[in-house]
Amino acid sequence: MLATVAAEFAYWQTSIFKLLMAFVAVLIPAGGTVYLYLFKMVSFLQSRLGPMEAGPYGSLQLVAEVGKWAQKEDVVPSRADAFVFKAAPYVVLISTFLLVIVVPFGPDAVFADFDTGIFLALAVSSISVIGILMAGWASASKYSLLGGLRAAGQLIAYELPMVLAVVGVVIQAGTLNMQGIVEAQTTGEIFGWGALGHPFILTQFVGFFIFLIAVQAELAQTPFDMPVAESELVTGYMTEYSGFRFLLFFIGEFATANIFAFLASVLFLGGWSVPPFIMDAVPGLAPQVDGLAAALGGTTGVAEASFSPWFNLIGPVVMAVKMLALTFIVYWVRFTYPRFREDQLQSFAWKVLIPISLVNIAVTGVLKVVF
């Protein structure tokens, strides 16, 4: 089977494979959502067609855009701190790639299965703040500086509700491990009814909404796009960037959107797994509850039930569907709402989201003990 095949490769071979797959997992969804949503869905939303010339229905527009960016001159402003200026997009991108390594796409299809996976994800997502601050400061532009400072203040403020929203899930799943969270949702039951499993969106809907709002803010998408507010700060910290380095910021922004959508679908929508009633209906998909997990080389640290290896193929597709559904919301909101003011955003985070998420945690804890 797949897992046993994978186990026959040497460590360096699997490492290179994983590295390649990391690029696939970051770039393909980023390109796909940019075309589907940023180019097409938004165009339809705004009663226009969007790109139509490059390829069928403009599907190769992104290739043309990337080609255009790659050709452009790499301008560094004369008063900029050149090294920091050049390094900043890479720092942002590193955060994106560090995020993707904890996302499970199947029982074995995971880059690194940490016991504290979600904890790591929330920690490394803040690295992008450093890159944005670097970009804002090193550009030697006042608009960039304002944008960078706004970004820093905003990302720090919204880190907290995001972490607190996840705590509710962690309490319910009883583990920080991403695979464990998926398994808890698949094998779980709601008041003894287990046909749907227990996707945490059903019981943690408050946490889900807070998580989505925090993601929107973390990604600096409208209505929380003060860092790049184009009508005020031109494009904020990205103002002075051009060519390939702008492309890196662009990839960082949209790839991170997808990866947060992946994280949200793992945390709240059941991850790569499908509801048990589908598993029971399709022969060979049902989880086997015996020692076979060890024989197949399953890497789930807390595995009680072992999933069919076919999930390594089905899982990425399921994840892609869930990711697309969630990023749809991100872009829908982005192109509908006006933006908050900086102080309104801060008070919204500290006075609304954080208290609600704290209450959510308390209620979750109490109910967890009661039931």
Partner 1 sequence: MTDLVDRRQMAYIAAQAADARVNVELETEGMTLNIGPQHPATHGTLRIVIQLDGEEVVAADPVMGYMHRGYEKLAEVRTYPQVTTLVNRIDWLGSFANEVPFILAAEQLMDIEAPPRAQWIRTILFELGRIANVTLFLGDMGVQLGAISPVFYAFRDREFILNQIEAATGGRFHPNFDRIGGVKDDLPAGWIADTKVALKAIQRFCDEMEDLIVGNEIFAARTRGIGVIPADIGLSYGLSGANIRASGVDWDLRRDAPCGLVYDQVDWKVWTHPDGDSFARYWVRLQEVREACGIVEQLLDGLPAGPIMAKVPRIIKVPEGEAYVETENPLGIMGYYVISQGGLEPFRVKIRSASFSNISIAPWLLKGTFVPDVITILASLYFILGDVDR
What b/e string do you get for 6-23 counting C-beta neighbours within 10 Å, with b at 16 or more?
Answer: beeeeeeeeeeeeeebbe
The answer to the question of residue 223 lying near partner 1 (CB under 8 A) is yes
Task: Name the nearest CA neighbour of 206 among 357, 371, 363, 362.
Answer: 357
Minimum CB distance to partner 1, residue 140 (Å): 13
Question: How many Cα atoms occupy the beta-carbon half-sphere of 73 within 13 Å?
Answer: 4
Task: Using CB under 8 A, pick the residue from 280, 294, 336, 350 that binds partner 1.
Answer: 336
- Cβ atoms of 198 and 309 within 8 Å: the answer is no
Q: Is 356 exposed, middle or buried (0-12, 13-18, 19+ CB in 10 A)?
A: middle
The answer to whether 128 and 252 have CB atoms below 8 angstroms apart is yes
Q: Smallest distance, Å, CB 114 to partner 1?
A: 37
Q: Which residue has the tokens 């909404």?
A: 209
Q: Which stretch binds partner 1 (CB under 8 A): 44-52, 206-214, 256-264, 308-316?
A: 44-52
Measured distance CA(287)–CA(298) in Å, rounded: 12
| Binding map of partner 1 across residues 295-334, x = CB under 8 A, - = no contact | ----------------------------------------
Considering only residues 118, 226, 320, 326, which one is a binding residue for partner 1 as defined by CB under 8 A? Answer: 226
The answer to whether residue 338 forms part of the interface with partner 1 (CB under 8 A) is: yes
The first and second tokens of residue 174, run together, are 């009883």
Q: What is the smallest separation between the CB atom of 95 and partner 1, expressed in angstroms?
A: 24
Binds partner 1 by CB under 8 A, chosen from 56, 343, 369, 370: 343
Answer yes or no whether residue 45 interacts with partner 1 by CB under 8 A: yes
Rg for the chain (alpha carbons), in Å? 21
- Which residue number, 143 or 200, has a Cβ lying nearer to partner 1? 143
Q: Taking Cα atoms as reference points, which of 357, 95, 31 lies closest to residue 214?
A: 357
Using CB under 8 A as the binding criterion, the count of chain residues that bind partner 1 stands at 28
Q: Under rule CB under 8 A, which residues in 142-161 are in contact with partner 1? A: 142-143, 146
Question: Both tokens of residue 142?
Answer: 């006042």
Kindly tell me which of 3 and 345 has the beta carbon lying closer to partner 1: 345
Residues in touch with partner 1 (CB under 8 A): 42, 45-48, 142-143, 146, 222-223, 225-226, 229-234, 335-344
